[in-house]
Amino acid sequence: MSTLEKNFWLTTVQAPEVPVRPLPDRVDVAVIGAGFTGLSAARTLAKGGARVAVLEAENLGWGASCRNGGMVLSGLKLGIPALLKRYGHQAAKRMYAASLESIDCVEEIVREQGIACDFARCGHLEVACKPKHFEEFRSGAETIEQEFGRRLKIVEKKDLRSEIGSAIYHGGIVDEASAGVNPARYVAGLGCAAAKAGAEIHEKTRVTGLERAASGGESGWKVTTSRGAVPAKDVLVATSGYTSGVTPSLQKKIIPIGSFIIVTDVLRRELARELSPRGRMIYDSKNYLYYYRLTPDRRMLFGGRAAFFPENENTVRESARILREGMIRVYPQLRDVRVGFVWGGTLDFAFDIMPHAGRMDSMYFSVGYAGHGVAMATLLGKKMAEAILSGRDENPFAGIGFPGAPLGLYNGNPWFLPLAGAWYKFLDWVS
């Protein structure tokens, strides 16, 4: 087994059996990518009576959807003050509400389909790395209460022991609405739900070309794949951080950024309780942040942007070392605990750090989750399916403008990632 395959979550799930079958003669919608976005969309489309084929280059859930931390979080990557400043009260309220709706959406699917994926509303805890960050938590909580009518819990440094067994932070903020999930089990269950609703899933079917073409008297697409071509009336691109030159306009708007995770051996019950007494989803207040949680079987899962470049043998090996050091700084109690797993995956960031969904070059798309995609990809996949079925796009981010790189200095090759990494480290030092 190579290092890249050592994803802990994959040891907890049996890969769903996806039958190998010929590609269909024609479909209403070709969905590219079988992660949360594509499978959630396929489920809704098939339930709405559309003939759908999900075309996946690798296996169901192969992308970020089975590699993530399983944090089902409220809010967006962009902070509330920036969201309000940029979009105004009405739009910011709609987007914030969508983040809460996205958690409900995951919960509903899990319940409806009976997916055994350890979904639990355990809440999340953000911890302040500097006193100034804690002051920002306070003012952020006040803004959320004033603008959106929700009260989050502020935890003073002296009370932090009830939330986390680490002495290095300056306080925290808790949102009880957030949840945790086993992402590999969830994406497998979502795939089964899409198939049960009538969607065809085709693994090892890489889309290699897209051309406008009429078929049966209707305008649409010729979708060329590694296994042949499929005519489709509509196309939904759900390729996230793995977006390629097949959709060049979209590729130029998405920065693929690596994120990496280590997982320890199973911890003693008392130690696990000391580290995370309430079993929260935890992340810190840095730009170059750490995120961590206990797994359902009591291991510490510890992740971060240890390298900015996407996963390969070098970035994964380097990340194992960096993350272990980071974990021990947070939790010296784990000094003698073995790390058994390390893996990486690719996040998709837009230049404005916002999710984007809509139409581009006559294709539907939903991307840009910036590390908040477990819930939001599920919701936006559903919303884009509803847009295709009804012809009305009511996704909460419709029409916000999708900026590309400044001066157009990006063709899909992220040459600036080392600079961005250094810049974020600098910001963490000074702010």
Ligand X SMILES: Cc1cc2nc3c(=O)[nH]c(=O)nc-3n(C[C@H](O)[C@H](O)[C@H](O)COP(=O)(O)OP(=O)(O)OC[C@H]3O[C@@H](n4cnc5c(N)ncnc54)[C@H](O)[C@@H]3O)c2cc1C
CB of 190 to ligand X, least distance (A): 9
Tokens of 135: 């002051």
* Residues 6+ positions from 413 with CB-CB distance below 8 Å: none
**Residue ranges with strand state E in 160-226:** 172-175, 179-180, 200-202, 207-212, 221-225
Q: If residue 364 lies in a helix (H) or strand (E), which one and from where to where? A: strand 363-367
CA pair distance 175, 362, nearest whole angstrom: 39
Nearer to ligand X, 170 or 236 (CB): 236
- Using Cβ positions, the residue closest to ligand X within the complex turns out to be 373
CA pair distance 214, 243, nearest whole angstrom: 25
CB of 220 to ligand X, least distance (A): 18
CA pair distance 189, 204, nearest whole angstrom: 19
**Residue ranges with strand state E in 87-164:** 124-127, 153-155
Tokens of 141: 């909580």
Q: Are 175 and 75 in contact (CB under 8 A)?
A: yes
Closest CA to 420 of 256, 278, 200, 285: 256
Phi/psi of residue 48, nearest 5 degrees: -85, 5
Q: What is the DSSP letter of 283?
A: E
Q: What is the DSSP letter of 215?
A: B
CA pair distance 309, 293, nearest whole angstrom: 24
Which residues sit at the interface with ligand X, rule CB under 6 A?
A: 32-38, 55-58, 62-65, 67-71, 73, 206-207, 238-242, 244, 246, 259, 261, 303, 345-347, 369, 371-375, 377
Radius of gyration of the chain (CA): 21
